[in-house]
Amino acid sequence: MSENLDDLKAFLTVARSGSFTKAAGQMGVSQSALSYTVKMLEQRLDIKLLHRTTRSVSLTQEGEQLFNDIEPLFSGIEQKLNNLNSFRDNPRGQLRVNGTEITLNVLLWDKLSKFMRDYPDVQLELTMDYAFSDIVKDRYDIGIRLGDTVHKDMISVRVSDALEMMTLASPSYLKQFSTPQTPDELHHHRCIGLRLPTYERIQAWEFKDVQEPNKTISITPEYSLVVSHARLQLKAGLEGHGLVWLPKVMVENELQNGEFIPILEDWDMCYSPYYMYYPSRRESSPLFRLLVDALRLQPL
């Protein structure tokens, strides 16, 4: 019986990830071993569950029906087992969080670090992703995104203040080049862009229209440098390689030390706060509630 359940767990993992390679990595087994396990399951059931190509894996109609039937059952069992953590002196288990670089690396890092110190037997898995992930499908416990992008069927809890964006230059850059007075003048400057890997595009810079405050101006400069992480963008800006567009919370020390000079301040954009989001069924887990309480924005 346990072998049958292991086969079904392997099938669920492949179905969720859409990839034998990803599923094998999650399970800690080889891709060939996992493929063999699923093949044996198909032979035992005498039903083809997956369409396989060299690049992707998708469910057959029968596979989709099996997935829909058993996935809630396995998720329920996992949830019940996790709930037993409340009877232990030291909570333990695994929690997976999906957020952007800014949320995990800047806004929430101190809280996450404290959580790890307070609960050393809990394994946190932190994934930085610019896309809006389907946390149920991808098996994350919590997603963190700007409030106006959170799906309405999710419970959302605020974790930050409003996100203020700033256009910045180093003193060395401004000694060499003039200071832009309007966003349109950015087209005549060296700018450092951020590529959003999930979307396969470079992030546009957005500004408040000083003439019509409810209107947003979107600018895509001719970038002299494009990077894939905001930390690299910050570093290149500090060294005078170009102008950068970054969250204020990320550059407060550099502003205070005079390493960055704000420009185009009248056009600065302010976005909604960040929220963590999750399905309602997760609230019954004591371990999960510990993390939610640790990350929520506390009132002043």
Task: Tell whether 95 and 120 lie within a shared domain.
Answer: yes
* 295 closest CA partner among 85, 95, 93: 95
- Tell me: pLDDT of 151 over 80: no
161-183 per-position pLDDT tens digit: 999 999 999 999 999 999 999 99
Q: Cα 42 from chain centroid?
A: 34
- Tell me: pLDDT of 75 over 80: no
Task: Tell whether 146 and 290 lie within a shared domain.
Answer: yes
Sign of torsion over alpha carbons 144, 148, 149, 154 = positive
Mean pLDDT for the stretch of residues 91-114: 91
What's the DSSP call for residue 273?
P
Mean pLDDT for the stretch of residues 206-233: 90
Task: Tell whether 191 and 260 lie within a shared domain.
Answer: yes
By residue range, what is the domain housing residue 277?
A: 90-162+273-295
**Count of Cβ atoms closer than 10 Å to residue 175 Cβ:** 9
CB neighbour list of residue 166: distance below 8 Å, 6 or more residues apart: 245, 246, 247, 248, 251, 262, 265, 268
Task: Tell whether 177 and 261 lie within a shared domain.
Answer: yes
Task: Tell whether 135 and 177 lie within a shared domain.
Answer: no
Task: Tell whether 170 and 248 lie within a shared domain.
Answer: yes
pLDDT of residue 213: 77
How many domains does the chain contain in total? 3
Indicate yes or no: pTM above 0.85.
no
- Contacts by residues 69-73 (CB-CB < 8 Å, ≥ 24 positions apart): 70/8, 70/12, 71/12, 71/15
Task: Tell whether 107 and 47 lie within a shared domain.
Answer: no
Task: Tell whether 65 and 205 lie within a shared domain.
Answer: no
Residue 43 counted as domain residue: yes
Task: Tell whether 193 and 60 lie within a shared domain.
Answer: no
Task: Tell whether 51 and 134 lie within a shared domain.
Answer: no
1 pLDDT band (50/70/90 cuts)? very low
Residue 155 counted as domain residue: yes
Task: Tell whether 281 and 218 lie within a shared domain.
Answer: no
Residue at which a domain ends, from 84, 104, 121: 84
| 3-state secondary structure (DSSP) of residue 196 | strand
DSSP string for residues in 205-238: EEEE-SSSTT-EEEE---EEEEESSHHHHHHHHH
Task: Tell whether 157 and 186 lie within a shared domain.
Answer: no
Beta-bridge partners for 196:
201
CA distance 236 to 190: 11
- The residue count of the chain comes to 300
Q: Is 53 exposed, middle or buried (0-12, 13-18, 19+ CB in 10 A)?
A: exposed
